[in-house]
Amino acid sequence: MCSGILPNAGRYVLIQNTYTIIILMNLSNTKDQTLRVGTRSSQLATAQVDEFISILSKHSPEVKISMIPIKTEGDIKKDIPLSEMNRGMFVREIEQALISKRIDVAVHSAKDIPPNSHPELRISAMLKRADPRDTIVNKWKLPLTAIPDGAIIGTSSPRRSAFISVNRPQLVVKSIRGNVDTRVKKIGKGYDGIIIAAAGLERLRMIEIVDQFLDIETFIPDAGQGAIAIQTRMEDEYTSKIVSKVNHFATFVCVTAERSFMRALGGNCNSPHASYAEINKNLIKITGLVSSYDGKKQCKETIYGNINTPEQTGSDLADKLIGIGALNI
């Protein structure tokens, strides 16, 4: 749920019920403005909206935020492995609510949004990226290299599974579902450890449980991992202008390049693809990888591109990988 009182934004009222959380910000002087924000109802999703509200309140303290939790396909179909569901399973219903004008803004984990965005929607801003790395949490409190052979490691990501198969083939990878807290509680109960994103643990203030942060050069993140995307309707210039005030330029550029790479490859949640970009001396440095499911065949390249043309940079990287046989894996 929202965190209640935010600093330095005037006078606040918190209204809470089962379905809606409303924060009334800076009730004096300015004309009332309200944005209905759609998101998943998980603890992590709510924490991400809290982060958005906290930053927006510093730029537009006159804006009221109404948070509308929405159940998505991924939330409803809890028994289906994520590897059998398409990318978009955690955003589709929220996007439909945005298109139908039941909400004004959608807040997503950037990696959940399909590379081919809905034509009626746009990503108007991204918050500053949290730690993009994957982590290992296990019952022995050991780094990945020291975990005993035969240990069962939980992940539903084909990308993470492929990386484990290459770097620790003696381990057993087992599908796991559930929110962050649920997965962590399964350690010692059918699982000896899990691979989980650092950003989620960081936002939930659980980062102290990490036993190892996995090297980003070896365990390349999913496109958009660690970033929060703020989505609006293409036609709604007013709302887009408001939320664009929270945009973190470097994150937006890097994630745009990563998404372009995935789009050019036709990547989806079922494919062990990975991409990670960062700004290096006013250039975009982006690394991309395509892997077989067992990790034995991989194509990996790094290129540099113009900071003003992230879409082209991502596409160029995809072309380079395709040129060395990525689509034949």
Q: What residues are annotated to the active site?
A: 112
Dist CA 45 CA 327 (whole Å): 34
134-138 sheet: strands from edge to edge: 172-174, 152-154, 193-197, 134-138, 212-213
CB 262 within 8 A of CB 317: no
Dist CA 204 CA 132 (whole Å): 15
Residue written as token pair 């537009």: 60
107 token code pair: 């807040």
User: CB-based contacts of 7: which residues, under 8 Å, 6+ apart?
Assistant: none
User: CB-based contacts of 261: which residues, under 8 Å, 6+ apart?
Assistant: 223, 267, 275, 286, 288, 314, 315, 317, 318
Picking from 317, 319, 197, 325, the residue whose alpha carbon sits closest to that of residue 257 is 317
Picking from 268, 242, 292, 225, the residue whose alpha carbon sits closest to that of residue 88 is 268
CB 305 within 8 A of CB 286: yes
